[in-house]
């Protein structure tokens, strides 16, 4: 693995390394395209991570991922073309979801812990061949379904279910 000069950020992860991976608690950032095209199927991200770059996990073999509560920005193309990605959990601090984050995924369940719907970019839920809003279940905190349903972007999800977290 290649770290930044202070050993607090991941710049590049080896393509050949697969399976599950846990990041050390000393890591505070994940760089742009750091896990691009890797064989990892799951990753544990510590709460010390506060920033994740564009396309950080694009094209990887992830099947599920949970982002910590202090990640506010879900960067453009973060999970683009993760063809096995079925479950994503976004933390309570999520404020922004960029374009093409889920494009090319088979996302079945999207959990979000934010009680206020984050701002979603124009093409945040664009996917191929159809938008994830057609087939993915959006799981929102108990008592917030109406708020999400009335939001211009999040309300596009055909299935919205509440959960207690």
pLDDT at 6: 87
Listed by start position, the domains of the chain span 2-163
Q: For the domain 2-163, what is the CATH superfamily, name and number?
A: Ribonuclease Inhibitor (3.80.10.10)
The tokens for 83 are 């063809």
Helix or strand run (H / E) with residue 51: strand 51-52
Query: What local confidence, expressed as pLDDT, does residue 128 receive?
Result: 60
| Torsion angle of the four alpha carbons 68, 46, 105, 61, in this order, in degrees rounded to the nearest 10 | -170
Give me the tens of pLDDT residue by residue for the chain, a chain 165 residues long.
888 888 899 999 998 888 999 999 999 999 999 999 999 999 999 999 999 999 999 999 999 999 999 999 999 999 999 999 999 999 999 999 999 999 999 899 999 999 999 999 999 988 765 678 999 999 999 999 999 999 999 999 999 999 997
CA dist 14 and 46 (Å) reads 20
Prediction pTM value: 0.95
């Amino acid at each position: 693995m290649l770290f930044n000069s202070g050993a607090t950020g991941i710049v590049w992860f080896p393509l050949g390394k697969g399976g599950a991976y846990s990041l050390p608690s000393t890591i505070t950032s994940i760089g742009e395209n750091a896990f691009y095209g890797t064989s990892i199927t799951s990753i544990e991200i510590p709460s010390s991570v506060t920033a994740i770059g564009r396309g950080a996990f694009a094209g990887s073999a992830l099947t599920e991922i949970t982002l910590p509560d202090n990640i506010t920005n879900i960067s453009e193309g973060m999970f683009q073309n993760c063809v096995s990605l079925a479950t994503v959990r976004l933390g309570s601090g999520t404020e922004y979801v960029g374009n093409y984050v889920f494009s090319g995924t088979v996302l079945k369940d999207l959990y979000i812990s934010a009680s206020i719907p984050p701002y979603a970019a124009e093409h945040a839920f664009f996917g191929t061949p159809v938008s994830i809003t057609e087939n993915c279940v959006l799981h929102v905190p108990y008592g917030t379904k109406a708020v999400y349903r009335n939001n211009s972007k999040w309300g596009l999800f055909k299935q919205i279910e509440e959960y207690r977290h």
